[in-house]
Amino acid sequence: MYKLGAVFAGILVAAMIFFNGTLTSYFGNSTTLVIIHTIGLITISLYLIFKREKILINSKIPFYLFLGGAIGVILVSFNNICFMNIGVSLTIALGLFGQTVMSLIIDSFGLLGLKKHKFDVKKLIGLSLIFIGTIIMSIN
C-alpha cells in the first residue's frame, strides 16, 4: 500500500510541476510562488477546519526542523525554472537523481540522527542505472 502511495505521490509531483511551471509562464516565478503557497495555506486551513484539528507547536523542537517550508519554496522555484527550460520529464528525472544521491549520503552516514544503512553494490548499480537513464534522456 505504501509503495502504491509513493507512486501516486510521484504522479502528483509531475502534475504539480506542470501546473506550477505553466502558471510561471503567466505570472513569473516570484508571483507564482506566492500564489502556489497561498493556495496551499488555504487548502490546509480548510482541511484543519473540516477535521477540527488544532495546530500544536512544541517549543522544544529544534528550529532547523522547520526549514522544510523554506526548502519547499526553493524547490518549487527551481522546478518552475527547470520546467520552462527542459520540460517535466527531464526536471523529474534530474530531480530524482539528486534525491537519490542525497538520500544515499544521508543513509550511508546516518546523517540527521537517522540509522545508518550500508551502501552496497546493489545501490551503486541502481544509482548507475538512474544516472545512465538520465544521461540518455538529456541527449537532444
Q: What is the pLDDT of residues 86-105, one digit of tens each?
A: 999 999 999 999 999 999 99
Global pTM reads 0.80
Per the structure, the complete domain to which residue 13 belongs is given by 2-138
Task: Report whether 83 contacts 21 (CB < 8 A).
Answer: yes
At residue 61, the pLDDT reads 87
Question: Could you give the number of structural domains in the chain?
Answer: 1
At residue 116, the pLDDT reads 92
pLDDT along the chain (140 residues), means of 10: 91 94 95 96 95 86 88 94 93 93 94 90 93 91
